Amino acid sequence: MDYSTLLNTEQLRPVTDTQGAVLVLAGAGSGKTRVLTYRIAYLIEKCGVSPYNILAITFTNKAAGEMKERIRSVTGEDGMWVMTFHSFCARVLRNDADKLGHNRNFSIYGEAESDRIITRILKEEHPEDTDKKKSIRWHISAAKSIAMTPEQYALRIKDNPDSALITQVYARYEEELAKNNAFDFDDLLLKTFLLFAMHKDVLEKYQDRFLYVHVDEFQDTNKIQFLLVKMLVRKYGNIFVVGDDDQSIYGWRGADVGNILNFKKDYPDCRIYKLERNYRSSGNILKTANKVIANNAGRMGKQLWTEKDAGVEVAYRSLCDDKTEADFVLEQILSLVKNRGYKYSDFAILVRINSLTRVFEDRMSSYGMPYKVIGGFKFYERKEIKDFIAYLRMAVNPADSESITRIINFPKRGIGDVCVEALIAACNARGLSLFEGLKRLDELELAPAYRKKLAAFAALATDLAENKESMPLDEYVKYVFDKVDFYSAYDMDDPEGRTKLENIDQFLTSVHEFCADNPDVKLEEYLQTLSLLTDADETDEGNYITIATIHGVKGLEFRCVFIVGLEEGIFPSLRSDTTTADVEEERRIMYVAITRAQERLWLTNAGRRFRFGKYESNSVSRFVKESGLIAATRRPEERTVHHTVQKALRRDMPKFAASNAAAAKDLSVFKPNAVVMHPKFGRGVINEINGENARIAFDALGVKVLNLRLAPLTIQGE
């Protein structure tokens, strides 16, 4: 095999450097997987190294599978250890867990099993703190990632008001794992580290086997993973790591960029190679990426370049508000689909925080544009939004027992499963719906303690139902928010809690905007509109616009990328305790976002954004300023853009919808009383038609309102 014809000069040098410590700084789109694959092939073919003596560690099972297949296709070799850190550790422990006092036939508990144990512990010992389960789970994982016992971790978090609770649950959790002869995912790493540290014979066995150790995505390693690798290579010193300090974006889950930045200190004789030639993006996109990341002080430094043309200029637009920003993005997409032959799947809209997806989802749903969400649920499918909608549905339809059981104990009211089961049984015995039963608690056969717990919720349910028509819809949803006290349901000191409240705030904003366009709308009508958003069927598989958090698209690429919401406080995401290191990680996230783009890139921000019940005016993100684009393409205030875009969308959307076969549908065949068939909902009868929307009574699911043009309905005989 002639490696000089298969690799460029930058790639060939590390591939043929086979002894000692090697660090490959692989820029985005520079072919790092190719380098790893051919490096292993070179060891086998040119150096006579047995595949038995080679270890390759990746971060995902998918990456491991792809690398195995590439190595097999290049060398014909199979059975080599190419796997994730967790798979490697599990295999080690299967052989030697008994040395730590564990049975080798241990179970491995995933997140669901771990959550169940923690939930049970809290219910038994701290029932008032069951809502802190996820926070405690995070702390236990963090402690294990730095090899700390409950006692050691207690000292580390002594200023946390929940430190005693966390460490008590952590200790009991460990007892439960031991009782069940089980390891969680963090244990796989920690127990292997302890095994190597306490039993030199075991460590030497693996040192003598794996003479050449390779690690991909080295910038994403945490402390335990770093120490495991260091132990393995201590005897022979042949370590080959590939990573990009500029793409280290997982600090929040324990990754330490210092592992790659300080590699030279840990291995003073190491050679460092830079892969700076990019095969993905145009010259202008790379120029923007280089300008932004150059502002980070904590980096090793590299300059991406390409032999591709400069390509289309990177565009920056400052729009007057978030709705106009969304419309601008849709206009660009529709124009390129119409005039340049792009597909919807060529586009990605990238956000820093989940709550920003809502306005884009609303716009795309209303125009029938196909999309998928990566890095989170679709906005209206998120639990906190479904919970809020359940309150509204209960107010409109008291017979909706599903909605009632969903929210009867949310926020926490001490109404457990046993109490709910007793209520259901008592209502069934009297032939009452749950709502009717709640209004007539004194007539039900219930224990006094249950009746007392249910009374407060019954009063709330009655109040919400009685007041749904007493005020405008946007005022009513705010009334529901306050009456239910959603604010106290989430912990603002917990990142997940803040995110959920932001999403609920975005929901309130969407209702406010809907009411502005439909002043006399009733709650029932609004809920029907939501049904259109959530029940409309997806179009042809694969041809979707991607809406994603930036973390959700790491490793992916798109022909066209929009990075939206570029405002201080949003991107970068800032808090009062934000450090320089935090800002540098935010900048790396921006760098990752930019380098997802192949051909076209837009940066956008909104002058005003509706959040937390009011319009916020945030300054333009420092990252836009660092890109050098403001002076070049700054536009005057664009209040008129919204109307221009709306006109373009109304004019062109039917033409684009034709590509999905929807616009060509003859709607005249759909008439009241017609029998229709839906592939998901089954047989139904059209009760009423209003424009392109039809109210349909399905045999299995009841009444739904669907868009006749978008829904896959077929006329059936009687």
Report the binding-site residues. Answer: 26-33
Length in residues, the chain = 718
How far, in Å, CA of 390 to CA of 8, rounded?
58
534 is catalytic: no
The SS3 call for residue 243 is strand
How far, in Å, CA of 409 to CA of 457, rounded?
9
How far, in Å, CA of 13 to CA of 646, rounded?
54
User: Of the residues 216, 362, 474, 584, which is catalytic?
Assistant: 216
**Distance of alpha carbon 321 from the chain centroid:** 25
Q: In what order do the strands lie in the sheet with 54-58?
A: 81-84, 54-58, 212-215, 239-243, 21-26, 271-275
User: Of the residues 132, 596, 600, 665, which is catalytic?
Assistant: 596
Within 10 A of 216 (CB to CB), how many other CB atoms are there? 25
Examine residue 572 and say whether the peptide bond preceding it is cis (omega within 30 degrees of 0): yes
Name the region of 621 (left: φ>0; alpha: ψ -120 to 50; beta: rest): beta
33 is catalytic: yes
Q: What are phi and psi of 471, to 5 degrees?
A: -155, 165
75 is catalytic: no
Q: Give yes or no for a contact between 7 and 15, defined as CB atoms under 8 angstroms apart.
A: yes
How far, in Å, CA of 52 to CA of 80, rounded?
6
- Could you identify the residue written with the tokens 């070179």? 42
Residue type at 518 in one-letter notation: N
The SS3 call for residue 422 is helix
32 is catalytic: yes
From first CA to last CA, the distance across the chain in angstroms is: 70
Q: Calculate the CA dihedral of residues 38, 41, 42, 47 and round it to 10 degrees.
A: 160
Q: What are phi and psi of 311, to 5 degrees?
A: 75, -165
Cα→Cα distances 140→163, 354, 526, Å: 11, 25, 43
506 is catalytic: no
Pairing of β 347-351 and β 682-690: unpaired
User: Of the residues 247, 324, 549, 604, which is catalytic?
Assistant: 247
**H/E segment holding residue 171:** helix 163-179
User: Of the residues 33, 119, 405, 529, which is catalytic?
Assistant: 33
Q: Give yes or no for a contact between 246 and 27, defined as CB atoms under 8 angstroms apart.
A: yes
User: Of the residues 10, 96, 186, 217, which is catalytic?
Assistant: 217
Closest alpha carbon to 314 in 346, 285, 294, 278: 285
**Residue 337 token pair:** 């689909």
In 3-state terms the chain splits into helix, strand, coil percentages (rounded to 5) of 55, 15, 30
**Residue 453 token pair:** 């717990």
Q: Give yes or no for a contact between 546 and 369, defined as CB atoms under 8 angstroms apart.
A: no
User: Of the residues 11, 32, 588, 604, which is catalytic?
Assistant: 32
Within 10 A of 675 (CB to CB), how many other CB atoms are there? 14
596 is catalytic: yes
How far, in Å, CA of 196 to CA of 92, rounded?
10
| Residues in a beta bridge with 308 | none
The SS3 call for residue 695 is strand
Residue list for the binding site for ATP: 26-33
Which positions ≥6 away from 349 have C-beta within 8 Å?
329, 357, 360, 545, 546, 547, 548, 562, 564
Q: Give yes or no for a contact between 57 and 215, defined as CB atoms under 8 angstroms apart.
A: yes
Q: Give yes or no for a contact between 478 and 508, defined as CB atoms under 8 angstroms apart.
A: yes
Pairing of β 545-549 and β 597-611: unpaired
Within 10 A of 384 (CB to CB), how many other CB atoms are there? 19
Q: Which residues are known to be catalytic?
A: 32-33, 216-217, 247, 596
